[in-house]
């Protein structure tokens, strides 16, 4: 807080300071406030950008009822190494802190004044004593400047020098931006109160001054801009920044600049990045229109959403949001959105709203984002499942939100300045951090599929760059059969003989049918090669909402710092330049290591995956090569769910079943029709696939109980015996033997394996000829009969409360899409345990579920005379008609 004023300073020096201020101005000619010295002991801080004879920034701190002021010629710098000249000028009245407008020439300081930043300040010590000593240390909490700062008085070079020169220096803290000192000034050029640029203020005759009198030379003061609540919305009266005006024409959307990671600080809120079509919804006279980013009217394509907008309790409104299709896993899916719009699938679409720009007579764009979102939420109500959804946000640490988003295989995070107005165009007020590489490309040609099949084989991609059209590689996966045929028909209509590229190698031309570069598609890919081509690309769908002329290679800012109203193209932020430490050099050397391991690029082969055992990524890859003959029959050509642990078993791990960008090409996509549409799963075909999974941080493999050849027919039955921690191991052994005997009664032979955890799996192979429902029914009957016969030992329901002292006979893994850990798969657990097949004769009190691990499994296999599961795939048993009849007759 501000320290107590010294005796006499409040009356004497304060009056003299304002006397000098008044003496310099003719208040009949300038709209600046005359001002009175206040008795306030507040702690306001502000900066006014002032284009007078020379552009400068007036830095002001409230002290003793006036604004202590310095003219900073080059503006504040976020780099502590920069020392900016700050000339001490006359004190200004507190009223001056609300001034923004034009000082007419030739008046003193004639020119444009913008309120560039405002907030509060806190002296780090006795403010008056520090001022007298010439070293004022303080902390700022402004819209744009934060953290610790210093004002240091310089010695006059001559006794005749009249002006008092100081230096404004940023302190070393989390708000500092070494190497980026000027980025804030270069990128941020709008008012924090009106959202206007210097040019807009210069063209306007209005003055942003909440205390100025209204006269012929000024527009209505801000107090009168408050307006009154609209009759249709008494719940939320606009603040002084909301302007009463007519519904604006099409508003250019605010766009996010891509950064490597989300920004830090409490000034940001974070939303999950959506995967759909950006739409502006206009409600006018109870009639809704849905416009794309280019202003195209797509109301006819989203009639149900337009109807939902019209049903809202508002007469006139302007919304910003994204239309998406949600997959079965609850994530937005652009491929499914395309399929629904193309008539390939049936499904509901949702309009996820994240901003409200106008409501019933008031332009809300100048309001802080949090206030706009609050109004939007009140208007929508508690609507979680309908066609209109509210985009929830998080105000926790951006890095944490980003990590969770990537672990859940989401597209990424959009970070937004919480208190900023809505600023059209691409700037630093909104930032996007992607978990996966994806962007739009222009389709420049196509190849035909092999063996004379219809459709397309691959698409040739391109983008604009400095007036040229550059080749970006090809994409040959991700198409459904219907998409492939439809694309071929559209591309045939725009064929051309000459390649659209400015330069194209002869090898690339072969087999390509070139087309006019007018269609835009969205592609997901692993990375860019050194030659500027996409690697491991997958087609997501066409983007009819974006023109080909605007498609360029997306740039990534090295670092996120502050919001901006300018585009990245106009003035990119400069990356941090720091001298690398020895530890950083070592890390860089480790990062550069990579090896080709059985044809797969293995990066960081020495990375520890199981730290206590010292097991590296290369060790795990070698293990799968050694046991390939054992594990491959259980994982090859099956949809897989995987457990990924990017930082090893001791780090954060997450479960994933769908294919995602960045996976090596040895990991194959497999498209499966789900309950709500098609979903693309992970699958592999050979040992390269196993190693590729290791490269991608996979420590567990969980295959379906069916092959990709027919996912609707089960080829095995699995009972997972999951004991409560208090159950003795001999009881688990007895449970496995009992399951085996009950299956024998059904004429089914079974096999046994450890889980690598605390239980056992009993597995019976099947001839893939029966649908999932009777298979699930069979396992349910067996589990329930065991629980019924011995309720003190077994239960057949997944109830933690009832499991104490019992074994859960889990039959739920016998359903379409359910999985179980594969034989010989590692587990993401301490000790690197393995799910190991056993012979029935080995089952006993000496064999535990986590007994076999990466350190001893190969020794075990070397000692065995035969495969414990020998004959598993040759056993062609099934549920005959008698067995099925018994199931139907079971209670």
Distance (Å) of CA 646 to CA 83, 524, 653, 747: 43, 20, 7, 44
Cα distance between residue 625 and residue 614, in whole Å? 19
The string of DSSP letters for 446-509 reads: EEPPGGG-SS-SEEEEEEEETTEEEEEEEE-SS--HHHHHHHHHHHHTTB-SS-SSSS--HHHH
Q: Is 570 helix (H, G, I), strand (E, B) or coil?
A: coil
**Per-residue model confidence as pLDDT tens digits over 680-732:** 889 999 999 999 999 989 999 999 999 998 999 999 999 999 999 899 999 99
Which has the closest alpha carbon to 94: 13, 33, 142, 51?
33
The string of DSSP letters for 117-154 reads: EEEEEEESS-HHHHHHHTEEEEEEEESS-EEEEEEEEP
Residues carrying an active site annotation: 273
Domain boundaries defined on the chain: 9-203, 252-434, 437-550, 596-703, 716-818+829-886
HEC states along 805-829?
A: CCEEEECCCCCCCCECCCCCCECCC
* Region for 295 from its dihedrals, namely left if φ exceeds 0, alpha if ψ lies in -120 to 50, beta otherwise: left
Q: List the structure tokens of 276.
A: 């759909």
Over its C-alpha atoms, the chain yields an Rg (Å, rounded) of 34
| Run of H or E including 693 | helix 687-695
Cα distance between residue 225 and residue 367, in whole Å? 13
Cα distance between residue 816 and residue 706, in whole Å? 8
For 204, residues 6+ apart whose C-beta sits below 8 A from its C-beta are 101, 196, 219
Helix, strand, coil abundance in the chain, percent, nearest 5: 20, 30, 45
Which has the closest alpha carbon to 822: 695, 684, 725?
684
Q: Which CATH superfamily is domain 716-818+829-886 in?
A: DNA primase, PRIM domain (3.90.920.10)
Q: How far apart are the first and last CA of the chain?
A: 77
- pLDDT value of residue 521: 94
- pLDDT value of residue 323: 95
Partnered with residue 68 across adjacent β-strands are 61
Which has the closest alpha carbon to 649: 620, 674, 671?
620
Q: List the structure tokens of 757.
A: 């955890």
- Chain centroid, CA 266 distance in Å: 18
pTM: 0.41
Q: What is the CATH number of domain 252-434?
A: 3.30.470.30
- pLDDT value of residue 576: 33
529, 229 in Cβ contact below 8 A?
no
- pLDDT value of residue 405: 80
- pLDDT value of residue 207: 47
Class of the CATH domain delimited by 437-550: mainly beta
635, 688 in Cβ contact below 8 A?
no
Domain pair 437-550 / 716-818+829-886, same fold? no
The string of DSSP letters for 269-324 reads: EEEEPP-SEEEEEEEETTEEEEE-TT--B-GGGGHHHHHHHHTSS-SSEEEEEEEE
- pLDDT value of residue 364: 93
Q: Does the structural domain 596-703 have CATH classification 3.30.70.100? A: no
Phi, psi of 85 (to 5 degrees): -65, 130
Cα distance between residue 372 and residue 357, in whole Å? 7
Cα distance between residue 325 and residue 333, in whole Å? 6
A 10 A CB-CB count for 671 gives 17
Cα distance between residue 83 and residue 85, in whole Å? 7
Could you give the residue ranges of the DSSP H alpha helices within 318-394? 334-341, 369-380
Residues in the chain, pLDDT under 70: 1-42, 106, 157-162, 204-241, 329, 382-385, 451, 530, 557-595, 661-662, 674-677, 800, 883-891
Q: List the structure tokens of 221.
A: 């003061």
Which has the closest alpha carbon to 420: 542, 565, 570?
565
| Half-sphere exposure at residue 356, Cβ-oriented, CA atoms within 13 angstroms | 28
Cα distance between residue 244 and residue 364, in whole Å? 9
A 10 A CB-CB count for 350 gives 23
């Amino acid at each position: 807080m501000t320290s107590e004023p010294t005796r006499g300073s409040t009356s004497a020096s304060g009056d003299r300071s304002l006397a000098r201020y008044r003496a310099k101005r003719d208040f009949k000619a300038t709209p600046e406030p005359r001002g009175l010295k206040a008795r306030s002991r507040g702690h306001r801080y502000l900066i006014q950008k002032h284009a007078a004879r020379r552009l400068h920034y007036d830095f002001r701190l409230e002290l003793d009822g006036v604004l202590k002021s310095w003219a900073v010629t080059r503006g504040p710098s976020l780099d502590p190494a920069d020392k900016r000249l700050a000339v001490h000028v006359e004190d200004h009245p507190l009223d001056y802190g609300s001034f923004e407008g034009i000082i007419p020439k030739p008046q003193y300081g004639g020119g444009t004044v913008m309120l560039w930043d405002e907030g509060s300040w806190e002296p780090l010590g006795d403010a008056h004593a520090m001022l007298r000593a010439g070293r004022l240390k303080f902390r700022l909490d402004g819209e744009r400047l934060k953290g610790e700062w210093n004002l240091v008085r310089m010695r006059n070079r001559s006794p005749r020098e009249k002006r008092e020169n100081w230096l404004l220096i940023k302190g070393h803290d989390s708000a500092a931006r070494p190497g980026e000192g000027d980025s804030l000034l270069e990128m941020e050029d709008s008012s924090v109160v009106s959202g206007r640029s210097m040019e807009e203020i210069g063209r306007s005759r209005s003055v942003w001054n909440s205390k100025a009198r209204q006269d012929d030379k000024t527009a209505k003061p801000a107090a009168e801009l408050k307006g009154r609540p609209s009759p249709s919305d008494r719940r939320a009266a606009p603040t002084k920044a909301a302007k009463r005006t007519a519904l604006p024409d099409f508003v250019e959307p605010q766009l996010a600049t891509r950064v490597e990671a989300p920004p830090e600080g409490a000034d940001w809120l974070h939303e999950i990045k959506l995967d759909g079509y950006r739409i502006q919804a206009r409600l006018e006279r109870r009639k809704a229109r849905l416009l794309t980013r280019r202003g195209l009217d797509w109301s006819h394509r989203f009639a149900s959403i337009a109807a939902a907008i019209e049903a809202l309790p508002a007469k006139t409104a302007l919304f910003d949001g994204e239309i998406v299709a949600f997959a079965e896993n609850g994530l937005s899916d652009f491929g499914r959105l395309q399929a629904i719009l193309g008539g390939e699938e049936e499904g509901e679409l949702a309009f996820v709203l994240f901003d409200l720009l106008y409501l019933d007579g008031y332009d809300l764009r100048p309001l802080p984002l949090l206030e706009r979102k609050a109004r939007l939420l009140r208007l929508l109500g508690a609507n979680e499942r309908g066609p209109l959804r509210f985009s929830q946000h998080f105000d926790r640490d951006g890095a944490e939100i980003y990590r969770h988003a990537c672990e859940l295989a989401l597209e990424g995070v959009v970070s937004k300045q919480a208190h900023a107005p809505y600023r059209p165009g691409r700037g630093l007020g909104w930032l996007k951090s992607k978990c996966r590489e994806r962007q739009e490309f222009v389709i420049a040609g196509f190849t035909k599929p092999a063996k004379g099949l219809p459709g397309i084989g691959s698409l040739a991609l391109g983008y604009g760059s400095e007036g040229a059209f550059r080749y970006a590689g090809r994409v040959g996966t991700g198409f459904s059969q219907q998409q492939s045929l439809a694309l071929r028909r559209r591309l045939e209509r725009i064929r051309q003989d000459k390649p659209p590229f400015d330069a194209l190698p002869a090898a690339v031309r072969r087999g390509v049918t070139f087309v006019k570069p007018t269609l835009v598609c969205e592609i997901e890919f692993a990375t860019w090669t050194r030659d500027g081509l996409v690697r491991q690309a997958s087609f997501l769908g066409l983007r009819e909402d974006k023109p080909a002329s605007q498609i360029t290679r997306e740039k990534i800012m090295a670092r996120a710092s502050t919001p901006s109203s300018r585009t990245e193209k106009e003035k990119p932020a400069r990356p941090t330049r720091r001298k690398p430490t020895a530890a950083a050099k070592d890390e860089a050397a480790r990062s550069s290591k990579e090896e080709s391991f059985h044809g797969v690029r293995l990066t960081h082969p020495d990375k520890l995956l199981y730290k206590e055992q010292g097991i590296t990524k290369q060790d795990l890859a070698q293990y799968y090569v050694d046991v390939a003959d054992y594990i491959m029959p259980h994982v090859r050509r099956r949809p897989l769910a995987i457990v990924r642990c990017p930082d090893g078993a001791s780090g954060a791990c997450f479960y994933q079943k769908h294919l995602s960008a960045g996976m090596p090409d040895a990991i194959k996509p497999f498209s499966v029709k789900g309950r709500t549409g098609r979903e693309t799963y992970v699958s592999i075909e050979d040992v390269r696939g196993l190693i590729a999974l290791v490269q991608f941080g996979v420590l567990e493999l969980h295959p379906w109980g069916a092959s990709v050849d027919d996912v609707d027919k089960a080829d095995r039955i699995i009972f997972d015996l999951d004991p409560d921690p208090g159950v003795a191991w001999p009881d688990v052994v007895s449970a496995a033997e009992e399951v085996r005997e009950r299956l024998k009664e059904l004429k089914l032979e079974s096999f046994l394996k450890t889980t690598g955890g605390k239980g056992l799996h009993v597995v019976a192979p099947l001839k893939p000829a029966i649908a999932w429902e009777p298979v699930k029914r069979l396992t349910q009957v067996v589990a329930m009969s065991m629980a019924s016969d011995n309720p003190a030992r077994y239960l057949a329901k997944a109830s933690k409360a009832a499991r104490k002292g019992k074994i859960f006979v889990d039959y739920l893994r016998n359903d379409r899409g359910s999985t179980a850990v594969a034989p010989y798969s590692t587990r993401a657990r301490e000790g690197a345990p393995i799910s190991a097949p056993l012979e029935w004769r080995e089952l006993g009190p000496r064999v535990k579920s986590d007994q076999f691990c990466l350190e001893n499994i190969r020794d075990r296999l070397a000692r065995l005379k035969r495969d414990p599961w020998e004959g598993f795939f040759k056993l062609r048993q099934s549920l005959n008609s008698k067995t099925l009849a018994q199931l139907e007759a079971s209670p």
